[in-house]
Structure 1
Amino acid sequence: MSHNLELAQKHAWNLARTLMTTVILFQSDDEYGVLPEEELDEGEVAVLYIYDPYSGGRSVH
């Protein structure tokens, strides 16, 4: 988890390109985290961005 959104975004994009799968950048309380899309239970966190290794990142809001 990170308190820095810019750093979390860079890690999310890097993880998506490394794993070649869609990853989600989410916020939980005052921290940001990244998980592969299939591992995230969206009910517990606020999804901010979706990073697809084929089409790039996009904001959910």
Structure 2
Amino acid sequence: MATDLTLANRYAYSLAASLMVPVTVFLSEAGYGVVTSDEFEGDSADVISEFDPYEEE
């Protein structure tokens, strides 16, 4: 878990780009977490951002 949101977002972006899968950044009691979107089973209110490598900017 990361305690810095900027670091978590950078990691999530890099992970999404290298794995070519959507990635979710979420907030938990321990800090910010990053998982692939299909593995996220938490509350949607805890989602901070999502990175999808196939989404057009």
TM class by smaller structure: 0.7 to 0.9
- Unaligned runs of 5+ residues in structure 2 are none
**1:27–1:45 contact (8 Å) kept in structure 2:** no
Q: Is 1:26 aligned to 2:26, yes or no?
A: yes
2:53 corresponds in structure 1 to 53
- Unaligned runs of 5+ residues in structure 1 are none
Q: Please list, as runs of the form range in 1=range in 2, the aligned pairs for 1:5-24 lying within 5 A after superposition.
A: 5-24=5-24
TM-score (norm 2): 0.86
TM-score (norm 1): 0.81
* Identity, % of aligned positions: 35
Instruction: Give RMSD over aligned pairs.
Output: 2.2
- Indicate how the Cα distance of structure 1 residues 17 and 5 shifts in structure 2: closer, same or farther if over 3 A, else same: same
1:41 corresponds in structure 2 to 41
Distance 1:56 1:28 in 2: 29
Give the total of aligned pairs: 57
Between structures 1 and 2, the one with greater strand share: 1
After the TM superposition, list the runs of 4 or more consecutive aligned residues in structure 1 that deviate by more than 6 angstroms.
none
The alpha-carbon deviation at position 29 of structure 1 amounts to: 1.8
